Amino acid sequence: MKTHSRQFPIPVAFLAAFLVVVALGCNEDPPASLFDPAYVSGVQPVVSGIAPASGLGGVTVMTLTGLNFSTVPSYNQVVFAPPSDRGKTLLATVLQASATSLTVKAPIVIADTVEVRVSVQGAELYSDPVYCSLVSAQLEWGSFTVNDAPAGIACDVAGNVYFSNLFGGVADSVYLISPDNVQMGYSPAFSSQVPRWTGMKVGPGGSVFCAGGRNIIFEIPAGGGTVTLWQRGGIGNVVDLDFDQAGNIWTVGTGTSLYSVTPAKVVATFTIAQTIVRTVRVYNGYLYYGGGRGATEGIWRREILAADNLGTEELSFDYSAAFGTGIVNAITFAADGDMYVGTDGAEGIVVVHPGGAAESFYPGIVAPTSVAFAWGTGTELFVSRAGTAAKKTVVRIEMQKLGAPTYGRLLP
């Protein structure tokens, strides 16, 4: 059987055009190669050391020494990588650069062993690795659920932390967190009318003295248990308190007055301009108090001349002028004079140096809102943290410096 195929004639014009295209394609030069036989790679960087070899992720500034670095900071890439989890590899921020030294801020990489390598623009090879260890600057302290809301906080000379808590918006207990981070009940709620303590300080004999928005100073006896009334009357509705080295209690709240109460319970009243005061701290012979006055959120201070005598008021720090929106919730001091301000601003804490310069503290690490502070027995600061963006907790922050004296807990 024969098969037949039908052949269609190709138009002459089409065939001619096709031949022209083929001819042009054959004569076209091939694309240029990316390979440059004349290229010479830069010299491989060498890292001979890193100091310090341990620190806080996202905080510690480290110096890499070696050879063949670029003097232009942005031409150097410094890579921090946990060998056990390459998915957490991050670049450090290069702060300063020379041919033999790089100063970098460690990224937020947390691992016992972190591999550090350097790449320099123009060089094909990374440096051989050096190693460091990085720990977290901030740890959750205690045990919290989404229903918890810690408020006032205090710390004793043994390192025990006490905090007042709301659970689901309802009055809850005061809890103790031991130095090894074990949480336990310490004191029951006083009443539904005083659902939480906004201010707490450890005082003489290990008692915890509390303020909660009433015209009363409350006391939790050493060892815990039922709250008693330590001072009632003669003071306004107070929200925070602190001791001076003579054992006098200084209190603040909403209104036009500050108050002092001596160990013998003699009250003195000091008039101030209309103010919402949320926090108070005694430091270096001065009474510091923070809150809002009109459009200004700030911190004011008056020299303590005696239990019944304060010096002239002065504005110590204008938070509104420095950072714009936000409120001042808490203040504390380091031994070197740095003042730390707890806020509901973009950063949970700002630091004000003795010369007046202010900046965000541990940016990107400390989340808002910082409600209250309690300095530990060493370089740790405990922070009661509220806010809706993160679970409400107590956190332990490594400050890398000692706190100023907390006088109440030092009194016999």
pLDDT at 275: 86
pLDDT at 24 over 60: no
pLDDT at 390: 62
Residue 405 sits at the vertex; the CA angle it makes with 142 and 365, to the nearest 5 degrees, is 45
Q: Do residues 315 and 298 touch, judged by C-beta distance below 8 A? A: yes
pLDDT at 36 over 70: no
Give the residue among 305, 306, 254 at the shortest CA–CA distance from 280: 254
pLDDT at 259: 97
260-277 CB burial, b ≥16 within 10 A, e <16: bbeeeeebbebebeebbb
Distances (CA, A) of 109 to 87, 89, 130, 402: 11, 8, 15, 25
Distances (CA, A) of 204 to 174, 244, 267: 19, 12, 18
Q: Which residues have C-beta within 8 Å of that of residue 145, sequence separation ≥ 6?
A: 391
154-182 CB burial, b ≥16 within 10 A, e <16: bbbeeebbbbbbbeeeebbbbbbbeeeee
List phi, psi (to 5°) of 25: -65, -35
Q: Tokens 């232009």, residue?
A: 72
pLDDT at 33 over 70: no
Q: What mean pLDDT is reported for the chain?
A: 90
Both tokens of 131, joined, read 């190693």
Lowest mean pLDDT among 17-21, 179-183, 321-325: 17-21
pLDDT at 95: 98
Domains of the chain listed by start with CATH number: 46-135 (2.60.40.10), 138-410 (2.120.10.30)
Rounded to whole angstroms, how far apart are CA atoms 92 and 119? 12
List phi, psi (to 5°) of 169: 80, 5
Give the residue among 102, 113, 107, 63 at the shortest CA–CA distance from 89: 107
Rounded to whole angstroms, how far apart are CA atoms 177 and 154? 10
246-258: pLDDT as tens digits = 999 999 988 889 9
Q: Is the pTM of this model over 0.95?
A: no
Mean pLDDT of all residues in 293-311: 97
Neighbours of 255 (CB within 10 A): 15
265-274: pLDDT as tens digits = 999 999 999 8
Rounded to whole angstroms, how far apart are CA atoms 412 and 394? 28
Rounded to whole angstroms, how far apart are CA atoms 151 and 278? 12
pLDDT-derived band at 131 (thresholds 50, 70, 90) equals very high
pLDDT-derived band at 32 (thresholds 50, 70, 90) equals low
Q: Do residues 325 and 275 touch, judged by C-beta distance below 8 A? A: no
362-401: pLDDT as tens digits = 998 998 899 999 999 999 999 999 866 567 899 999 999 9
* Sheet of strand 76-81, all strands in order from the earlier edge strand to the far edge: 54-56, 130-135, 111-120, 76-81, 90-91
Give the residue among 182, 142, 137 at the shortest CA–CA distance from 164: 142
Residue-level length of the chain: 412
